[in-house]
Structure 1
Amino acid sequence: MSEHGRHVGAATLKRLRHSRGLSLAGTARALAAVAARLGLPLDSSAASVQRSVARWESARPILPSERYQLLLAHHYARNGGETSLGPGSDVAELLDALRYLGASERAIGELRRLLVRTTTDTGLDLLSLLGPQAGAALAGALADPQRTDAMVLDVLRTAIGDVNREVGSLPFVRLQLLLAPVVESCRRLLDGDVPGPLLPGLRTVAAHAYTLAGRLAFETRDDAASRGLYAAATETAGHIGAPWHRAVVHMSHALVTLYATPGIEAAQRLVAAAVRDARAGHSVTVRARSHALQAELSARGGGEHAERQARSALALAWYDLDRDRADDPSGVSFTAAHLRGFEGVVALYVGDAATAHEEFAQSASALTQRRERVQRSIVTSDQALAQLRLGDPQSAAALLHDCVDAASASGGRVATIRLRRARRELRPWRREEWAAALDDHMIESLGG
């Protein structure tokens, strides 16, 4: 997006704000109110939100994150108690501003569809977003937690599973909105007087909900909310009585921390905690995954013994993965295809590009399920880096085109970060026609 275009977008956002008679602080309060109404409360301070609003309108403006785009759209959709989404509306102007600031047409289309869906529901209360059946089942329990029964837990468990299955198919901001009522319901029930025999099951469901919500908040670039959700997930999982539950939380948190925090020390500490909990638990699948993640972090950390430590952790992961897992209690999906991806990352970081490329190729070819699209994109972007190390930058660029489509479809932060890192490695060839074609694809789909 051109510099002039970004300034036009920033000026449009400022004009919209002034048309509502709002200061920067007033806009921050309005967005916080919208977030609370949608069940997506902002954990950021009012001052932090205000600074974000100011950055969108500054001399060097930035594109609001997907989360803030949704909040802005809901804010400007209502004026004087009425909802207006059509041509000439404030929302139409907002979407134009987002285009100027770099949002892709695909992202704009998804935002418009999500806005229409959530503003035309009968009310925007939490239960309405879950659907009538789930709302009816939960309503009694939320009014009186002592009425919680196994059916209520099944409703929550099913809702989490439905959201989880759509990772890679729907934008993360939409998934976050769909999961919000489940998270809030879990919080309210845990704060209530739920029958004792149901508490372990409720804590298990809540830990799963908080963990997934923490990941979704990270993907939509709300790191403060993500940290709070992971803290809640860790505490809740610690009361379940099966350590592997907390190991799952630690692993998800570690991957998020790796990209949200400078350095890798914090992520390494979380992985070490995951390994301890996994070894104390009864899920060999979780143990295998924790060792695989330990291998990646060891390789990334470098140092004199990095390769030996990484190879040792990979050997433990393969040992666990090869054991009988028919009765594994976790239900965690972790296969040889996933582990080959970790093998590739280790090989890439210790300087064995040929082995890395082969492992990545095998992993990507096996990750064919819809739910695995994001992971396949990450593996393929790493495969492109290996291809580049092998002296074939054009083939590396060809691989990255699929990653662009996947990152655009999901709005995934990790997939986009890995993609952009791989693209930076191609800078020496930026004047080549095939490199320019990749840049055009990224601008069209990702806004830059």
Structure 2
Amino acid sequence: MTTIDRQSGALLLRHLRERRGWSWTDLARALRDTAQQLTVTSLMNRHLASIQRAVARWESVSDRTSPGDRYQLLLAQLYARTPAGDLAIGPGSDFETLLDALRHFGTPPQRIQHLVDLVAQSGQNHGGDLLVALAHATLPTIGAVQRDPSTLDHEVVSRLHESVAAINGQIGGAPFVRLQLQLAPIVEACRRFLELDQVGPRRELHLLAAAAYSLAGRLAFETRDDEAAMALYTEATRAAGHLADRSHRAAIQTSHTMVTLHATDDLAAARTIARAATVDAHRGPSYAVRARAHAVHAEISARAGQTREAVVALDRAWKTVEQLAVDDPHSGFNADHLSGFDGLCALHAGDAGQAHDSLSRSVAALRLSRDAVQRGIVSTDLALARLRLDDPAACVDLLHKAVDIAATTGGRVAAQRIRLARRDLRPWRSEDFLAELDDHIHDTMIGR
């Protein structure tokens, strides 16, 4: 069970800083330097004053702010080493004190263990370099090209693309911030490679950049860095614009649409991107991308109360799904995923029965590890459908499952929807089953 004692956590962080003789500015500078070492783009160029304010909020006994995922990793990297640079993570170390502080802030045990594993891995296998521990397979390749740009050939780009795909494949099974750090060197490399004059395979390089930037945007969103996410999706869209196959740009735009929706609640902005995605999707050969583009457009329309437009978009999505080919290079979206969109649209339209049936089919089918994040989202939508069918106890049972999935994957959208579902359960606040759900949320998701 996670016990919150925020005041003790704040005092421990202050104690750590003062024990090293650092001011707030000193710690802010150390954190920014560490971000530069790990190429955490969203923090490496941030003004010291901004980081200093964050440090001050963490140490305030009256503030409710605690270090987020990225700052936790930077603090771990910083305090895992003595001022002399030696690794020290055992009892009595600054690192152990940091972990105690994070526990007081309510950081879940699994996240604490991830920090321990990362620091231990970097110390034992990679000379203490956390970035190498995270991305050791790609850094030698990137370094070689930076020393000699003429070595940037098809094989190098292909190997980097495989690394991006491997990182993407870990979603749902590894912390998003860890994946973000694994991807960061590739993102920075793409930017540098694209600045080189007519070197290497340009089409393959743009394809790599589009994939890397898009995934980086998704990971930035999941780690609650929305400004960076939007900038990365813009870069991804620009890179994909150099590709003749418009399916690539459409796939990026569908993801950008959902991130815009959930990060800003700006339906108008999300609708603009969704419409651009459907246009590009029909200029490309992938039926999977077309189906997803129509499904995303349907959800945006349903949320805006445009039921007729949502029905038309869903109908197009279902007709497109029937034409899916096994050799579609953009495969990944299918009828199982579409059932989730179908159910959500029905939920917004007020048809809880249809929503329940569609969402049940989707949850039952989304069983692969890579589907875990989506399963958490659809499970919460299914819980809401049960609530609309006047079965709050069944709704809570389903939310327990969704909470476990969200706690494991760290999925931001699922966490958002769990909070909304909990709000709709307020009329049953005196019921024991709701108190048990609150305890479950508190114990497994606090600090996310």
Smaller-chain TM-score range? over 0.9
TM-score of the two chains, using structure 2 as the length reference: 0.93
Say if 2:275 is the partner of 1:276. no
- Match 1:89 to one of 61, 84, 93: 93
- Residues in 1 aligned to 2:250 and 2:77: alpha-carbon distance in whole angstroms: 37
Q: Is the 8 A contact 1:275 1:291 kept in 2?
A: yes
Alignment of 1:28-177 (within 5 A): 28-41=28-41, 42=43, 44-58=46-60, 59-80=62-83, 81-120=85-124, 121-122=126-127, 124=129, 129-131=134-136, 134-177=138-181
Counterpart Cα distance in 2 of 1:194 and 1:401: 54
Task: Give the direction of change, closer, same or farther, for the CA distance of 1:206–1:350 in structure 2 (3 Å limit).
Answer: same
Residue type matched to 2:222 in 1? E
Structure 2 gap segments, 5+ residues each: none
Asked if structure 2 preserves the Cα contact closer than 8 Å seen for 1:37 and 1:124, the reply is no
What is the rounded CA distance, in whole Å, between the counterparts of 2:11 and 2:324 in structure 1? 61
Partners of 2:427 and 2:114 in 1: how far apart? 35
Partner Cα separation in structure 2 for residue 436 and residue 91 of structure 1: 35
Q: CA deviation at 1:159?
A: 0.6
Percent identity between the two aligned chains:
46
Q: Alignment partner for residue 253 of structure 2, among 246, 250, 255?
A: 250
- 1:179-194 alignment to 2 at 5 Å? 179-193=183-197
Give 3-state SS (helix, strand or coil) of 1:424's partner. helix
Tell me the secondary structure at the aligned position of residue 437 of structure 2. helix
Residue 298, structure 1, aligned to residue 301, structure 2 = yes
Larger displacement relative to structure 2 (137-146 or 266-275): 137-146
Which amino acid in 1 is paired with 2:422? R
How far apart, CA to CA, are the structure 1 residues paired with 2:226 and 2:48?
15
Higher alpha-carbon deviation: 5-14 or 427-436? 427-436
Secondary structure at the residue paired with 2:5?
A: helix
**Which residue is equivalent to 1:321?**
321
For the 8 Å contact 1:145–1:193, the answer to whether it is kept is no
What is the CA distance between 1:99 and its match in structure 2?
1.4
Distance 1:17 1:57 in 2: 10
Following TM superposition, by how much is the alpha carbon of 1:125 offset from its aligned partner in structure 2, in angstroms?
Answer: 7.8
SS in 2 for 1:83: coil
CA distance, structure 1, for counterparts of residue 397 and residue 107 of structure 2:
23
Asked if structure 1 preserves the Cα contact closer than 8 Å seen for 2:122 and 2:133, the reply is no
Task: Pick which of 15-24 and 268-277 moved more.
Answer: 15-24
- Tell me, in whole angstroms, the C-alpha distance in 1 between the residues paired with 2:344 and 2:208: 32
State the partner residue of 1:442.
Answer: 441
Which residue pairs with 2:8 in the alignment? 8
Distance 2:131 2:197 in 1: 21
Cα distance in 2 for residues equivalent to 1:416 and 1:356: 20
> CA deviation digits over 1:305-341, x for unaligned, max 9?
x11000000011111111142443x423101010000
Shift in Å, 1:234: 1.6
The 10-residue stretch of structure 1 (332-341 or 319-328) with the greater mean CA deviation from structure 2: 319-328
Given that 2:176 and 2:223 are in contact with CA atoms closer than 8 Å, whether structure 1 keeps it comes out as yes
What is the identity, as a one-letter code, of the residue corresponding to 2:11? A
RMSD: 2.1
CA contact (8 A) 1:214 1:225 kept: yes
Contact map agreement 1:126 1:180 (CA 8 A) in 2: no
Q: Deviations over 1:6-39 (max 9, x none)?
A: 1221222222222233333332222111111112
* Alpha-carbon separation, structure 2, partners of 1:312 and 1:56: 49
Asked if 2 retains the 8 angstrom alpha-carbon contact of 1:381 and 1:403, the reply is yes
Matches of 1:276 and 1:311 in 2, distance apart?
18
Q: Which residue of 2 aligns with 1:359?
A: 358
Is the 1:268–1:297 Cα contact (8 Å) retained in structure 2?
yes
Are residues 187 and 127 of structure 1, via their aligned partners in 2, closer, same or farther at CA, if it must alter by over 3 Å?
A: farther
Question: In the superposition, relative to structure 1, how do residues 60 and 131 fare at CA in structure 2: closer, same or farther (>3 Å)?
Answer: closer
Shift in Å, 1:293 = 0.2
TM-score, normalising length from structure 1?
Answer: 0.93
Q: Deviations over 1:373-395 (max 9, x none)?
A: 11001000010011111111111
In the alignment, which residue of structure 2 is the partner of 1:225? 228
| Distance change in 2, residues 1:157/1:321 (3 Å) | same
2:219 counterpart residue number: 216
- Alpha-carbon distance, 1:231 to partner: 2.0
Q: Bigger CA drift: 62-71 or 335-344?
A: 62-71
The one-letter amino acid of 1:386's match is A
State the match for 2:343 in structure 1.
344
Corresponding residue number in structure 2 for 1:288:
291
Does the 8 A contact of 2:4 with 2:106 survive in 1?
no
Q: In structure 2, how many angstroms separate the alpha carbons of the residues matched to 1:156 and 1:343? A: 36
Amino acid paired to 1:171: P
> How many residues were matched structurally?
442
1:219 CA drift (Å): 0.7
Moved more, 402-411 or 359-368: 402-411
Structure 1 stretches lacking a partner, 5+ long: none
